[in-house]
Chains A and B, each alone.
Chain A
Amino acid sequence: MKRLIISAGIFMSFLPFLLISGCSLSPKNKINADPSKTVVMWHWLTDKEDALNELAREYYEKTGVYVKMEVFAPSEAYNQKIIASAQTNTLPEIYGILGSKRDFANFVKAGHVLKLDSYMEKNNQEWKGRFFPEALKSVSFVSGNEFGVESGIYGVPIDVINIQYIYNKKIFREAGLDPQNPPQTLDEFLAAVEAVKKAGYQGLVSGFSEPWLIDCMASNFAWNIMGEEKMIATYRGDVPYTDPDWIKVFSIIERMARAGVFASGVVIKSNKDAELEFALEKDAFAFNGSWAVHVYKDMNPEIEIGIILPPKVSNANPRGVWGGAGTWFAVNAKSDKSQMAVEFLNWLTQKEQQVRLAKETLSIPAVRGCLESVPEELKGFLSGMKYVYHPRNFPVQEDSVVVEAFDKGLQSIITGEKTAKQVAEEVQKVKARQMEKKRQKQNNTAS
């Protein structure tokens, strides 16, 4: 009994040490920074967590300023977190904003985002000049934008992305197709799908239960058929969705669906499901963003992939791909340490740091002149940067209710429930209703 009591006593005396040591940081991450020189950065990027932590450590050693990284994942939870923090004025010094340009504008208008033009334009625009112009467009507001935000740059991109068609080279070979000559036009694409289906594979997989992906695919065709001006005119309400060009867009999706291009259950697949399916080599094509290369390689290191632009459906305009800043960060205008935050982001977007991030996280740098650092698999995405556009950067944004009707309508075309013409008419009805509401609201405000 006495021995038992002594053992328990020894154990109890060590217990606090065990607990404290369990809670402490590993020696590698332990930084005893001066609180007045500590800025907090929130992000959702679990795949970039290690690289960002390492860069923050280096920055601390170099400057004495500690950037404390805090991760909140998944992105939906992160989004909730920053909205709640904005409402309570508890945002950190550096944070990313997810969601639409409207959400971004709301943060800016609420005074939570520091305007960065004066920093970007210092030393003959040294900082601004580093970036791909498309990357900066995503984090800027043009003058006369519909949100009423003062024109300027409000964010710092740390990488760029674009969304293209990814194909499996091994499946191409098995189907008797040449992986070096992937399809370029819609007819070639449909023929390639037919060949891979004969070889026992599915055609194209994507996460179409997430509306933005299906929206992206259709708007790429719209960009190619009617160009930017007509798309903007549609959003403004000057061109109806029943216009022959829009019906052509819906009809292309219809034609693809009837030809059996889409993998089974594509309309209820999340992008994660679609990524897994493509990585398991069940489908010959995927419609996904440049980030997916990392995901596919993680799931299946043997997979051989190639990248192609969206199939060409018209000679009227160049092809286009959605893209721009991938991950970007804003600086909290209400923080008294905003200057330190800006300096860190400036350092993070210098070539040396960008090259490291690209190599360690298989991403495309946001700054130019890092070509040699881009991993081989991402070169196709990099060359696609010259085709990049994004409706978010248009001066006029489509109403979110119309966007939903558009995306849900596309799902209905794919399932064969509705025709292209029916969907065009339905979307136009919703558009007309929203325009009427907008007019009434403007009249009420004016009166």
Chain B
Amino acid sequence: MVKRWYTLTNYLFILPALLLFLVFGLYPFFKVFQLSLMSWDGISSNMQFVGLANFVEVFTQDKVWWSSVMNAAWITFLALTIQNGIALILALLCANDIKGGHVYRVIFYLPPVLSGIVIGLIWKWIFRYPDGILNVALVHMGLKHLVRDWLADPKTALNAVAAVHMWRGFGWGFVIFLAGLQNIPQQIYEAARVDGANAWQRFWYITVPLMIPVFILVSILTILGSMQIYDIIAATTNGGPGYHTEVPVTRILASMQGAGRFGYACAQGIAFGLILLTVSMLQLWVSNKMKRE
């Protein structure tokens, strides 16, 4: 009897958390799925069941949607390579007890704590044509031929937005890499030194294998964060010029607010979630395979 009472009490304790999860986690998830099967304007009480028609449109007809996915994928690719590459180099430098290392840590961690909208506005000003800091600097460096309207030029807009995103994001990777590097026991490096391993060998044969779990974590966070980029785009280009900086989140919003197609927007949201899930699982599988090898 007493045992049953204890069990009941335990369940009673988790009940508030369970209720919150059901109401704010599980219910919205199933509601979005339900809405994705409907044609609904978002306001009226009448919804028309359309089956998988919204998904068929997302996957087979909506070219703009897929070009927005490709734009986000390109930004993600740049973030995975350049952003994380820079983050790793800086983390390696700071892990080596360089002079003023603590100051650098604070400086590198500043961009991620700023609001994306603020960062977007600052960089919009830096990229401004013809008198933004970047263009003025190019003129002073004798590179006048490179001066352009970086955010409004269809050829450079996406990369310019990606650059801003990477500037904002490298601080996260830096902090996680640094924590990972500091967890590697120094004795292993000392033993390698005694055995005559040079700096590259120490990095390749000690640091890289021991950092694989950290690489996996940073990669997954980078993929999820970059594919869902929105605030920087809203503050800089609003998806333009044309469709050149459209990303999935701006398309979902356009379906919801511009076209009043809530059902279709929900289908886009689910399709996007599936894409992210697939990419993350793939990434995890590849990383685990690498770890085993």
Contact = CB atoms under 8 A, between A and B. Distances in A.
Interface stretch (B190-198, B201-209, B222-230, B236-244): B236-244
A78 to B, nearest CB: 12
Contacts of B149: 264-265
A408 B153 CA distance: 14
Q: How large is the interface on A (under 10, 10 to 19, 20 to 34, 35 or more residues)?
A: 20 to 34
B127 to A, nearest CB: 9
A409 B44 CA distance: 32
Nearest to B245: A268
Contacts of B257: 79, 99
B111 interface: no
A265 B152 contact: yes
Interface string B124-138: 000011100000000
A102 B241 contact: no
Contact of A404 (B42, B129, B254): B254
A376 interface: no
Given A268-B241, A408-B240, A415 B152 contact: yes
Interface stretch (A104-112, A298-306, A345-353): A104-112
Interface residues of B, number: 28
A264 B129 contact: yes
A265 B240 contact: no
A361 B44 CA distance: 34
A415 B238 contact: no
Nearest to A270: B238
A265 B43 contact: no
A109 B154 contact: no
Contacts of B239: 209
Given A106-B44, A264-B129, A400 B258 contact: yes
Q: Which one of B129, B153, B239, B242 has the highest number of Cβ atoms from chain A below 10 Å of its Cβ?
A: B242
B80 interface: no
Contacts of B259: 400-401, 404
Contacts of A210: 238
A424 B114 CA distance: 42
B238 A268 contact: yes
Contacts of B260: 99-100, 102-103, 106, 400
A340 interface: no
B231 interface: no
Contacts of B128: 264-265
A268 B43 contact: no
A412 B242 contact: yes
A400 B157 CA distance: 25
A268 B156 CA distance: 13
Interface string B60-90: 0100000000000000000000000000000
A411 B151 CA distance: 13
B153 A415 contact: yes
Contact of A83 (B42, B45, B242): B42
A267 interface: yes
B46 to A, nearest CB: 8
A34 interface: no
Contacts of B243: 408
A86 B130 CA distance: 46
Contact of A268 (B41, B42, B151, B254): B151
Interface in A403-423: 404, 408-409, 411-412, 414-415, 417
Interface of B: 41-45, 61, 128-130, 149, 151-154, 157, 236-243, 254, 257-260
14 contacts: A102-B41, A102-B260, A264-B128, A264-B129, A264-B152, A265-B149, A268-B237, A400-B258, A400-B259, A400-B260, A404-B258, A408-B242, A411-B240, A417-B241
Closest 10 CB pairs of A and B: A106-B43, A400-B259, A209-B238, A265-B152, A110-B44, A267-B241, A412-B242, A264-B129, A106-B41, A268-B237
Interface of A: 79, 83, 86-87, 99-100, 102-103, 106-107, 109-110, 112, 208-210, 264-268, 270, 400-401, 404, 408-409, 411-412, 414-415, 417, 433
Given A103-B41, A209-B237, A415-B241, 12 more contacts: A106-B44, A110-B45, A209-B240, A264-B129, A264-B130, A266-B152, A267-B152, A270-B238, A401-B259, A408-B240, A409-B242, A415-B153
